[in-house]
């Protein structure tokens, strides 16, 4: 493989790296000199089942390219998984420099039809999983005075998407988690950032295509927005060159990368005598209305569901 020294001798855990974006990041890390803990339960898209094969196959790919990697099949939804993953990195390679929280599942359902189990399953993998791994890694990073997190969020969380209340809530939760890690650990040299990828993955492929127009769009985006396009940004954020970058939200869409704004007040009004529901309706809302975010689907979402 074409080698780079950008991550030479560093060790990184990548969750959910048996395929898709996680696999692409793991391979890019290895190409850049890092040793990788390839974590993947090998579950189906909805989280069911388990298969050690995907993680082992990625490890074999990395070994064939001259890199170093070890497979791990822990479920990040398990509270003890974070400790086991960190121990795996330390036992296998003697150190830990970065974590990519990428593992995820989907159980899409319109909010009025979603069950508690469908909600819990998705939130536990995406948000709790990131928490379990991050909390365990923080102890190592704080002690050594360095470390970097990359969390995979989504435009479904940042701008919303139909039939994904569980997924959207978890992905927006990751933004808050990342920002808090960045603030809490800044003085210890620990960084935390998010990426919202637009890439053709199993999750995107699972969204029903309802028209010939969507099918044509799918073919274009499948060719253009590959998982490999996301990997360079993730690796950059884990490396020393990104030492001053923390608490940010980035996006990748094909050959385009961008940085997202983060919520801040847009307009304010003050009324010396205070507010009533009536004065809010009469005075405040007409002023604020020009700054409202429209309730419409955004082009950043690869596909959206038709209302049911």
What is the spatial distance between Cα 233 and Cα 236, in angstroms, rounded to a whole number?
5
The 10 Å Cβ neighbour count of residue 78 is 15
- Length reported for the chain: 308
Residue 167 a catalytic site member: yes
Catalytic residue among 6, 128, 167, 236: 167
Residues involved in catalysis: 167
């Amino acid at each position: 493989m074409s080698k780079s020294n950008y991550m030479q001798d560093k060790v990184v855990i990548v969750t959910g790296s048996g395929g898709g974006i996680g696999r692409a990041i793991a391979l890019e890390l290895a190409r850049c000199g890092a040793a990788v803990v390839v974590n993947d339960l090998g579950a189906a898209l909805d989280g069911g089942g388990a298969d050690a094969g995907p993680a082992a196959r990625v490890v074999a790919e990395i070994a064939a390219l001259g890199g170093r990697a070890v497979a791990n099949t822990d479920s990040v939804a398990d509270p003890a998984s974070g400790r086991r993953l960190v121990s795996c990195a330390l036992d296998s390679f003697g150190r830990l420099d970065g974590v990519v929280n990428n593992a995820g599942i989907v159980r899409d359902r319109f909010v009025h039809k979603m069950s508690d189990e469908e909600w819990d399953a998705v939130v536990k993998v995406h948000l709790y999983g990131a928490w379990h791994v991050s909390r365990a890694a923080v102890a190592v990073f704080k002690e050594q005075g360095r470390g970097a997190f990359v969390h995979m969020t989504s435009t479904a969380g940042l701008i919303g998407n139909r039939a994904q209340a569980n997924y959207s809530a978890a992905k927006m939760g990751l933004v808050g988690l990342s920002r808090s890690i960045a603030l809490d650990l800044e003085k210890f040299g620990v960084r935390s950032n998010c990426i919202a990828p637009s890439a053709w993955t199993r999750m995107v492929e699972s969204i029903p295509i309802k028209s010939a127009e969507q099918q044509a769009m799918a073919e274009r985006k499948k060719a253009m927005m590959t998982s490999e396009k996301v990997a360079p940004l993730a690796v950059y954020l884990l490396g020393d060159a990104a030492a001053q970058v923390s608490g940010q939200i980035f996006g990748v869409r094909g050959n385009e990368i961008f940085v997202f704004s983060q919520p801040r007040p847009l307009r304010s009004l003050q009324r010396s005598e205070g507010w009533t529901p009536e004065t809010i309706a009469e005075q405040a809302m007409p002023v604020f209305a020009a700054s409202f975010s429209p309730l419409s689907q955004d082009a950043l979402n690869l596909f959206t569901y038709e209302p049911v």
